[in-house]
């Protein structure tokens, strides 16, 4: 008996649902295994995580806090990935968004009418993120430089730059020596809705809906889909490939910048360490797990955020390392990556058939 991977005749729709589900189950088992090895009961751990993340309004709001930046950056990354532009730089775009927002909040606030301050802050955050993504976009479209590495390197540049600022010239003189900027004026605080969760959630949901409409129902979205599938075909159809990629990547960066701006104005109200907990990288996971579908991203973000929050909770309650959440995130991916094969291929078991007689004089 032989096992064969056979290409499917059409992409299997049931597989699109079953595979992620199954992968999640497998990852739970793997994580459980790790927990058992280190002497912890997996069931109590998982239930503690679930309760911690979703069981109380406090927990849920914390989950939202983590989910919002994941949603926004996830959407941004998804746009880029749909164009096969490997934007690994969401982390840097987010950071710079936060930096730019802080700049406006701290230094431009006197010259802006208070009603417009918050919108201005957020807008500048978007622009900064767009700018930071625009650099690799420019290098790719004009000079054909590979974006994977440039975006990655720019992450570090952005993070180091923001460190320089809040350790140095922007450091709060009244900060008792803690590294971090002065707090923002009240008008630049993003309103919260539940616990620490802020209205950024609305931005995220609206953005998801808009993006879905763009990709499914507009001419521009259609053109972007063609570019993503085959740049040569797009060019042949008269689509301005480089310009469209550039614009789309600017949008991608802007969303991450918005995430950063929301973080500083909604959570910390100052520029300090811990602006991003690796959201930019997790966003890639979110985007990929959502199969680049804008409507799925909010849900996947909630899931992953829940895992992280749950991880924090079990650290407090059960003394497990907080890195547990990160480990589990990693473990989800491996089965999913393995499973992605099955959306395109099918396993066939070939039994030895009895030989069909070859009749003479066929032709």
Partner 1 sequence: MFVKNLLDKAYKMEKDKRVPVVEMRSVTKTFPGVVANECVDLALYAGEVLALLGENGAGKSTLMNVLCGLYRPDEGEIFIRGRKAEINSPRDSQRLGIGMVHQNFKLVDSMTVLENIILGMKDQGFIPDMKKVRAEVTSLSEKYNLSVNPDASIWQLSVGEQQRVEILKLLYRKAEILILDEPTAVLTPQESQELSKVIHLMRTEGKSAIFITHKMEEVMTFSDRVMVLRKGKVAAELSTSSTSPRDLAKLMVGREVLFELEKKPFQPGEAVLRLEKVCALDDRGLPALKDVSFEIRKGEIVGIAGVAGNGQRELAETITGLRRLTAGSVRIQQKDVTNAKPLTIIKAGVAHIPQDRSSVGAVGDMSVASNLAMKDYRKKPLSVGIFLIPQRILSMAKKLIDTFRIATPSPETHVKFLSGGNIQKTILAREIGSCKNLLVAVYPSRGLDIGATESVRKQLVEQRDKGLGVLFISEDIDELIQVADTILVMFEGKIMGNVPAASADPEKIGLMMAGVSQTENEGIDISQGVMTS
Partner 2 sequence: MDLITSILTITIRAGTSLVFATIGEILTERAGILNLGIEGIMLMGAVTSFAASFYSHNLVFALLVACGVGAFMALIHAFLTVTMRANQVVSGLSLTLFGTGFASFLGQKLGPQSNNFRLVGLKGAKFTPINVEALSQIPVLGALFKQDILTYAVYLIIPLAWYFLYKTRPGLWLRSVGEDPQTADAMGIDVIKTKYFYTILGGILIALGGAHLSLSYTPGWSENLTGGRGWIVIALVIFSMWNPARSIWGAMLFGGINAVQFRLQASGTNIPASFLNMLPYLGTITVLVVMTWWEALSKKIGAPAALGAAYMREDK
Which residues in 76-95 contact partner 2 (CB under 8 A)? 86, 88
Q: Taking the complex as a whole, how short is the minimal distance between the CB of residue 333 and partner 2, in angstroms? A: 4
* C-beta of 38 vs 243, nearer to partner 1: 243
Spatial separation of the C-alpha atoms in residues 144 and 77, rounded to whole Å: 20
Among 44-52, 70-78, 143-151, 186-194, the segment contacting partner 2 (CB under 8 A): 143-151
* Residue 150 found at the interface with partner 2 (CB under 8 A): yes
Strands 345-350 and 2-7: antiparallel
* C-beta of 29 vs 213, nearer to partner 2: 29
194 binds, among partner 1, partner 2, none (CB under 5 to 8 A by kind): none
Angle at 25 between CA 13 and CA 9, to 5 degrees: 20
Closest CA to 343 of 8, 6, 81, 82: 8
Residue 6 in 3-state DSSP?
A: strand
Spatial separation of the C-alpha atoms in residues 312 and 309, rounded to whole Å: 5
Q: Which of 101, 226, 305, 331 binds partner 2 (CB under 8 A)?
A: 331
**Cα-to-chain-centroid distance, residue 175:** 32
* Residue 160 found at the interface with partner 2 (CB under 8 A): yes
Contacts of 210 (CB under 8 A, 6+ apart): none
Ramachandran quadrant class, 197 (left: phi over 0; alpha: psi -120 to 50; beta: rest): beta
Which residues in 36-75 contact partner 2 (CB under 8 A)? 38
**What does the longest C-alpha to C-alpha distance in the chain come to?**
98
86 binds, among partner 1, partner 2, none (CB under 5 to 8 A by kind): partner 2
Spatial separation of the C-alpha atoms in residues 50 and 29, rounded to whole Å: 15
Binding site for partner 1 (CB under 8 A): 6-7, 9-11, 217-220, 222, 225-226, 229-230, 232-233, 235-240, 355-356, 358-359, 362-363
Q: Build a one-symbol-per-residue string for 305-324: x at contacts with partner 2 by CB under 8 A, - elsewhere.
A: ----------------x-xx
Binding stretches for partner 2 (CB under 8 A): 5, 7, 38, 86, 88, 139, 143-146, 148-150, 152-154, 156-157, 160-161, 163-164, 167-168, 281-282, 284-285, 288, 321, 323-327, 329-331, 333-334, 337-341, 345
């Amino acid at each position: 008996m032989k096992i064969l991977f056979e290409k499917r005749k059409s992409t299997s729709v049931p597989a699109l649902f079953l595979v992620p589900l199954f992968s999640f189950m497998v990852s739970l088992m793997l994580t459980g295994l790790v927990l058992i090895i280190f002497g912890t009961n997996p069931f109590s751990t998982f239930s503690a995580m679930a309760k911690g993340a979703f069981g109380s309004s406090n927990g849920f709001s914390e989950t939202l806090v983590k989910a919002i930046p994941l949603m926004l950056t996830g959407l941004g990354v998804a746009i880029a990935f749909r164009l096969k532009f490997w934007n690994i730089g969401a982390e840097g775009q987010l950071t710079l968004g936060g930096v730019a927002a802080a700049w406006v909040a701290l230094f431009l606030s006197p010259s802006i009418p208070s009603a417009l301050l918050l919108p201005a802050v957020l807008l500048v955050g978007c622009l900064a993120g767009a700018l930071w993504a625009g650099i690799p976009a420019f290098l790719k479209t004009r000079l054909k430089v590979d974006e994977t590495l440039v975006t990655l390197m720019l992450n570090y540049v952005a993070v180091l730059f923001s460190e320089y600022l809040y350790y140095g010239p922007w450091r709060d003189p009244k900060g008792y020596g803690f590294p971090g900027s002065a707090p923002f004026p009240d008008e630049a605080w993003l309103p919260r809705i539940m616990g620490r969760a802020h209205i950024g959630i609305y931005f995220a949901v609206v953005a998801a809906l808009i993006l879905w409409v763009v990709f499914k129902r507009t001419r521009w979205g259609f053109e972007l889909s063609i570019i993503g599938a085959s740049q040569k075909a797009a060019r042949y159809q008269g689509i301005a490939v480089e310009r469209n990629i550039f614009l789309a990547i600017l949008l991608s960066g802007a969303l991450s910048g918005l995430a950063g701006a929301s973080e500083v104005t909604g959570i910390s109200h100052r520029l300090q360490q811990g602006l991003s907990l690796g959201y930019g990288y997790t966003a890639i996971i979110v985007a990929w797990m959502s199969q680049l579908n804008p409507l799925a991203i909010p849900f996947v973000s909630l899931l992953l955020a829940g895992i992280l929050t749950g991880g924090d909770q079990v650290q407090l309650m059960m003394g497990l390392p907080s890195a547990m959440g990160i480990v589990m995130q990693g473990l989800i991916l491996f089965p999913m990556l393995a499973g992605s094969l099955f959306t395109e291929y099918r396993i066939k078991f070939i039994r030895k058939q009895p030989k069909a007689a070859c009749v003479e004089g066929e032709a």
